[in-house]
Structure 1
Amino acid sequence: MRLSTVILPIYRWADEGREVWRRAEELGFHAAYTYDHLTWRSFRERTWFGAVPTLTAAAGVTSRMRLGTLVTSPNFRHPVTLAKDLMTLDDVSQGRVTLGIGAGGSGFDATALGQEAWSPRERADRFGEFVGLLDRLLSSEAVAYEGEFYSAGDVRNIPGCVQRPRIPFAVAATGPRGLRLTARHGQAWVTTGDPALYETGTPQESLAAVRGQVERLGAACAEIGRDVADMPKIMLTGFTPDQGHPLDSVDAFVDFAGKHAEVGIDEMVIHWPIAGTEFGADPKVFERIATEALGQLG
């Protein structure tokens, strides 16, 4: 089991941001991710910075910990410009970047550029094309492409990624199309559990849902002759019926993580505490979880 954190991009760099990302590495987290949104839900009227510049700055004050988005989506990104930014970030971080990527939601990001919100079918169609083109852009020095939604006009990405053939993709998906896309292009898989259970489900139902997701991922991998055991399975916590309870104590987290390890999850991601929000865990307990929990999991 690996333990990682997600640090929302809410900190002014000179005031707090630099020290938060440094502290994450000191605590021994495998990776520190950040949300890639223009804003997010309850933080709509609060400070919120861009993901790629934040990760670039974080790369300069860390040396071991992996860095990444959780997750990037097509809502306000284009594969051509995103690929250039990611190649640069991979270079600055000396090969420590993971791209968490998902289809995106129907919230503010979905209409921020002035477009109408996409239907679920169009969102899935765009996501498939987006991931496939981004794969090519990050793996090749030159790409020419004309698709239904995206184009690349003889684009150059030189010298390419430090990580070869490209930075790893951690694909967030639970439906059949998304899981097939994960099997084809992903180096890891991401889940938050089953959103339908968040408010009315039970922890037991949520755990069963995650087990089912892992099984369906395995089936999607088997279809193309891929061993699902070789694909890390990442869970972003905070969106299951347990809500904040796994961060109430080290024992509570060990119990939560252990149960999810049994159904196939091998990387848990916990939110960096933010007082007065849904991520308002006790900072002292959070640091104890970071430094003690993995030892108890074995």
Structure 2
Amino acid sequence: MGMRLSTVILPIYRWGEGQKVWQRAEDLGFHASYTYDHLSWRSFRDGPWFGAVPTLTAAATATQSMRLGTLVTSPNFRHPVTLAKELISLDDISGGRITLGIGAGGTGFDATALGQEPWTPRERADRLAEFVPLLDRLLTEGAVSYKGDHYSAHEARNVPGCVQRPRLPFAVAATGPRGLRLAARHGQAWVTTGDPKLYETGTPEQSVQAIRGQIEKLGKACVDAGRDVTTLDKILLTGFTPDRGRPLESLDAFVDFAGQHRELGFTEIVVHWPVPDSDFAADEAVFERIAREAVAQLG
């Protein structure tokens, strides 16, 4: 399988403009276009920011073949029962083109927007460990009852289920042992952004080493789960390694960066759609050239 190239389109556009961006992404040949599932996010907090599920629903009706998904959803403000219903609807509307990126969530605005205290890392891991297996059941079984420490379901009906069988794929974002176990057991893909501790002061070489270590741990988790690690797609969400935006400065720079990470075992690289005057600013002409030509150069 060749390397796939995908993009993240932040949900910052009124749909009159947003529709054109998603259609442009399909025209450029991206394998998938994802969006963030946050209530607001970082430097974009005081500007327009729309909901992930309605945005993806609209994108599903505005595109034909490109895959769509969240990168990523978290338990911060979601419940498996209601999320499952929305995902089954989205999978139907898109004709089976949805991937659910899912992770433990962070400590940003989502963590307190519902008026709660932010969860500790352990609490986030505890919730994800219940959320993912329950969501898996809700998307594959017609009726589910479950009582857990954090989530419950009582005769939750999900007929007719997903268009994709047995359910839409999960791309599990994880670097810790519990999250990697979830990826090995329930994921069709694994997602990383690299090692956040290296973002400010690390080098690209240190980042590659850290990611190699993450993949080794994923391999061990797969062995423990009786799974072949090569059956799991490996997705790198770029923009959070010490390289930052440098891979998007030229076609050659991107091909070099993507080639390095393909050697580690990645099957999909995700770049942010350019947003002027932000961390994701990039030359649009270079970005489009990368979209059109990089995959062929990677061979």
Fold-level similarity (TM above 0.5): yes
| CA deviation profile, 1:86-122 (whole Å, cap 9, x unmatched) | 0000000000000000000011100111111111111
Matching residue's letter, 2:126: D
**2:1 is aligned with 1:29:** no
| CA deviation profile, 1:230-285 (whole Å, cap 9, x unmatched) | 11000000000001000000000000000000111110000000111110010000
CA distance in 1, matches of 2:26, 2:125: 35
Partner of 1:196 in structure 2?
197
SS at match of 2:269: strand
CA distance in 1, matches of 2:83, 2:152: 13
Partner of 1:165 in structure 2?
166
Partner of 1:39 in structure 2?
40
CA distance in 2, matches of 1:258, 1:266: 11
Partner of 1:235 in structure 2?
236
Question: What is the alpha-carbon root mean square deviation over aligned residues?
Answer: 0.5
Matching residue's letter, 2:221: A
Partner of 1:116 in structure 2?
117
Partner of 1:10 in structure 2?
12
Cα shift at 1:164: 0.7
Please list every run of at least 4 consecutive aligned residues from structure 1 whose deviation after the TM superposition is greater than 6 angstroms: none
SS at match of 1:124: helix
Structure 2 residues without counterparts, runs of 5 or longer: none
Cα shift at 1:142: 0.1
SS at match of 2:33: strand
CA distance in 2, matches of 1:9, 1:74: 19
Matching residue's letter, 2:4: R
Structure 1 residues without counterparts, runs of 5 or longer: none
CA distance in 2, matches of 1:296, 1:136: 41
CA distance in 1, matches of 2:121, 2:237: 22
TM-score calculated relative to the size of structure 2: 0.99
| CA deviation profile, 1:65-104 (whole Å, cap 9, x unmatched) | 0000000000000000000000000000000000000000
SS at match of 1:152: strand
Cα shift at 1:163: 0.5
**2:285 is aligned with 1:279:** no
Partner of 1:126 in structure 2?
127
Aligned residues: 297
**2:83 is aligned with 1:82:** yes
SS at match of 1:258: helix
Cα shift at 1:295: 1.1
SS at match of 1:33: strand
Cα shift at 1:134: 0.5
CA distance in 1, matches of 2:63, 2:120: 40
SS at match of 2:178: helix
CA distance in 2, matches of 1:235, 1:98: 15
SS at match of 1:104: coil
Partner of 2:227 in structure 1?
226
CA distance in 2, matches of 1:167, 1:292: 29
CA distance in 1, matches of 2:129, 2:196: 21
Partner of 2:146 in structure 1?
145
CA distance in 2, matches of 1:44, 1:108: 9
1:27-106 to 2 correspondences below 5 Å = 27-106=28-107
Matching residue's letter, 1:237: T
TM-score calculated relative to the size of structure 1: 0.99
CA distance in 2, matches of 1:224, 1:244: 36
Cα shift at 1:37: 0.1
Cα shift at 1:229: 0.5
Cα shift at 1:46: 0.4
CA distance in 2, matches of 1:140, 1:234: 28
CA distance in 1, matches of 2:293, 2:162: 35
**2:267 is aligned with 1:266:** yes
| CA deviation profile, 1:197-237 (whole Å, cap 9, x unmatched) | 00010000000111111111011001121100111000000
